[in-house]
Amino acid sequence: MMLKLSKDKIGELFQKLASSRTLYLPIDNNGQVNFGQWTPDAVVRLDQLKTVKSAKDFFFPQTENIVAFKRQGKDISIIENRDQNEPFVVFGVRGCDARSLDILDKVFLCDPVDSFYKARRENGVIVSMACAEPEETCFCGVFGIDAAEPQGDVTIRIIGDNLYWDGKTEKGKALGESVKDLLVQATGQDLEIIKKQDERSREILSMLPLGDLSLDGFEESALLEKFNSPLWKELSQACVGCGTCTYVCPTCQCYDIQDFDTGHGIQRFRCWDSCMYSDFTLMAHGNSRKSQMERFRQRFMHKLIYYPANNDGVYSCVGCGRCVAKCPISMNIAKVIRALGVSVSV
Amino acid sequence: MRRIRDMMRSRAGELLREGTVNRVLGWKNGEFYYDPNPAVFETEESLDGLVYNGFSAAMLSKYLIDATKKEGRILVFLKPCDTYSFNHLLREHKVNRENTYVIGVGCDGMLDIEKLRTLGVKGIKSLDENGDDLVAHTLYGDKTLARRDILLEKCLSCKGSEHKVYDELAVVDDPWQWDTLDRFAKVGELEGMTPDERFAFWRGELSRCIRCNACRNACPVCSCLKCVFDNPRSGVQAKSNADSFEENMFHIIRAFHVAGRCTDCGECSRVCPQNIPLHLLNRKFIKDINAFYGEYQAGADVEGKSPLTEYKTGDVEPSVVYERGGA
């Protein structure tokens, strides 16, 4: 059932949502927009298409404590200090980021289940938001994502003076129930407006310059052919080996677990890792990928060949285009797909 | 800049053909007008992909650390400000001058795609640079922007059009010119703050850091073979924050390490995905060095002493900080 709310009441909606759980949404911090906790003073920027970092942090944080150890004499005590039980809402998640959670689910919810991630997935409600004005760096359509009607527990559309609220899952409907005082039922005329907007959005989405990227040829059977391609050298030579692409990516999922000596105990933590870094998968014997070319290749082979080979052909990219926008030297997955794919346009 | 690009293509082709160089380090065209990436060209035919426009900001000097270790001579295109970093790398013996052929390219100031986005430009199909303006043709219509309004931060206080090192030049007689700003104005503003205000300013900026290390990796003078933050035995992680102050420490330590060596190229701020004004840390050091030891521009010369590698009995004592009230 489609519900609606006048846009000028959006502050009340945030207030109400935040009263029963933590509310995260795109917030402006000195010109940079990232998902952050809502407060009455926060500068909410739902108009921002792409937050710098994705919504991944709320389910798979950049750094999290796993467990701590304390030694007294010959005894070691184990201190549980994980923190993943707060109920929360992430509001304004775009279609690309909403889909990225499916990709992370396949990694973290398969056996053995990652209990940290699972708890956050269960505690979190996704309110996704339709895109009406995509950027040229967007190519979610290449991965079958419809940004005009993204997945999520609730999907909202902001059209004219109204916010339309579409509760989709049980969780989403329950969230709608908690703010039902503010929502009214959409009329037949509203549904017409929505339909028109969706059509218009899809038309623009179909015109995006990266929309013609072809994934033909990125398949398991081509693994060795792609791996051994001489093009990796050429593509990777500009890479400065920073972690920007991996850290702004909604689907990069590699992590490191380390012990930190706090001076009075040990804190075991998990943090995002980046295949671009020299200590990625560092083992006692050294590193299996010694050159930046090998590290660079790993990132794209993982997203375009290894992951789909292990996950029914699903690619580990959602076409959000953050890496396209943020790479310091403008090398990115779109250029890699162009260079290494089978060209369909003759 | 199209005229310069044509000169670059033609000279690079000649130098490859006659064997003066065996490869060319330049910028290659991308998916959009604004995303050329550094690339090595090895054949004359491949030079069709060589571009030079307002978005060729990525500096090529640092790539020469590795590139000049290889066999043969590499042609590199350096904008005026890039030559300072090249010179500094020469001073530190990080690049091999004999293996390098430098063509100094004229520059009309580099543009900031983020500024375009902030000004509401999206869905870019193509861009046209016409003198004072840039016209963006987008999915949502055309938009004209004044070049002055979309210059990269580093270009707002341009060091000038002079190349400090080159084998030959590719420049035009009538480059686009613009008024530059005092590069220390913002530093002065920060110095005027109370320590608490200044602390709050930097906490606000640095807390956005995502530890991607792009600033370090793009920095031409961050040229350690192995950065201390990449040492797994150091007890600190280059890729995560143990506490909410660690990223602040990372940037402060880095600024200290490049003090007296930083050429103020501005790459750190340009590449930061969170738009942290990292160059202000470096400019504070430069301003102080100028005040305490006399004007010094890293990379202006290859030879000679530099302020922080020379000791004079009259050098300021650390207590100068207190004498100046903590700023």
**Residues A150 and A259 reside in one and the same domain:** no
**Residues A150 and A288 reside in one and the same domain:** no
What is the count of structural domains for chain A? Answer: 2
Range(s) of the domain holding residue A249: 220-340
Q: What is the pLDDT of residue A343?
A: 46
Which of B122, B212, B240 is facing A244, going by the closest CB pair?
B212
- Residue A331: closest CA among chain B residues belongs to which residue? B37
ipTM: 0.94
Enumerate the CATH 3.10.450 domain ranges in chain B, comma separated: 113-150
Average pLDDT, chain B: 94
Q: What is the pLDDT of residue A346?
A: 37
**Residues A120 and A17 reside in one and the same domain:** yes
Which of B140, B205, B217 is facing A241, going by the closest CB pair?
B217
In a domain, A137, yes or no: yes
**Residues A97 and A230 reside in one and the same domain:** no
CA angle B10-B12-B17, nearest 5°? 95
User: Mutating which of B77, B139, B236 best tests the A interface, going by the most A Cβ atoms within 10 A?
Assistant: B139
Residue B241 has pLDDT above 80, yes or no: no
| Domain-terminating residue out of A153, A188, A212 | A212
DSSP character at residue A140: G
Contacts of A259 in chain B (CB under 8 A): none
| Domain-terminating residue out of A184, A212, A240 | A212
In a domain, A70, yes or no: no
In a domain, A114, yes or no: yes
Residue B320 has pLDDT above 90, yes or no: no
Which of B31, B36, B58 is facing A334, going by the closest CB pair?
B31
Q: Give the distance from CA A304 to its chain's centroid.
A: 17
Q: What is the pLDDT of residue A98?
A: 98
Average of pLDDT values for B230-240?
A: 78
| Domain-terminating residue out of A212, A246, A270 | A212
- Determine whether the interchain pair A258/B237 forms a contact, defined as Cβ–Cβ distance below 8 Å: yes
User: Mutating which of B25, B33, B34, B35 best tests the A interface, going by the most A Cβ atoms within 10 A?
Assistant: B35
Q: What is the pLDDT of residue A72?
A: 87
Contacts of B117 in chain A (CB under 8 A): 135
Contacts of A243 in chain B (CB under 8 A): 211-214, 239
Q: What is the pLDDT of residue B234?
A: 78
**Residues A234 and A327 reside in one and the same domain:** yes
The answer to whether B310 touches B264, Cβ cutoff 8 Å, is no
Q: What is the pLDDT of residue A136?
A: 96
Rounded CA separation A223/A304 (Å): 10
Q: What is the pLDDT of residue A101?
A: 98
**Residues A140 and A89 reside in one and the same domain:** yes
Q: Which residue has the tokens 């090895």?
A: B42
In a domain, A231, yes or no: yes
Residue B37 has pLDDT above 50, yes or no: yes
**Residues A37 and A148 reside in one and the same domain:** yes
Q: Which stretches of chain A drop beneath a pLDDT of 70?
A: 343-346
Average of pLDDT values for B78-92?
A: 97
Tell me how close the Cα of B285 comes to any Cα of chain A, in angstroms: 24
- Determine whether the interchain pair B239/A338 forms a contact, defined as Cβ–Cβ distance below 8 Å: no
Q: Percent of chain B having pLDDT more than 90?
A: 83
Structure tokens at A294: 């090998």
Closest CA to B199 of B233, B248, B240, B162: B248
Residue A16 is inside which H or E element, if any? Answer: helix A10-20
- Determine whether the interchain pair A208/B139 forms a contact, defined as Cβ–Cβ distance below 8 Å: yes
Q: Model confidence over B155-195: pLDDT tens digits?
A: 999 999 999 999 999 999 988 999 999 999 999 999 999 99
- Residue B241: closest CA among chain A residues belongs to which residue? A63
Rounded CA separation A71/A266 (Å): 9
The sheet with strand B37-41 has its strands ordered as: B37-41, B23-28, B74-78, B100-105, B168-170
**Residues A99 and A158 reside in one and the same domain:** yes
Q: What is the dihedral of CA B64, B67, B68, B69, to 10 degrees?
A: 130
Q: Model confidence over B272-308: pLDDT tens digits?
A: 999 999 999 999 999 999 999 999 999 999 998 889 9
- Determine whether the interchain pair A238/B38 forms a contact, defined as Cβ–Cβ distance below 8 Å: yes
**Residues A120 and A179 reside in one and the same domain:** yes
Which CATH code fits B113-150? 3.10.450
DSSP character at residue B315: P
The count of CB pairs under 8 A between chains A and B is 147
Please, is B289 exposed, middle or buried when counting C-beta atoms within 10 Å of its C-beta (0-12, 13-18, 19+)? buried
- Determine whether the interchain pair A210/B31 forms a contact, defined as Cβ–Cβ distance below 8 Å: yes
The answer to whether B39 touches B28, Cβ cutoff 8 Å, is yes
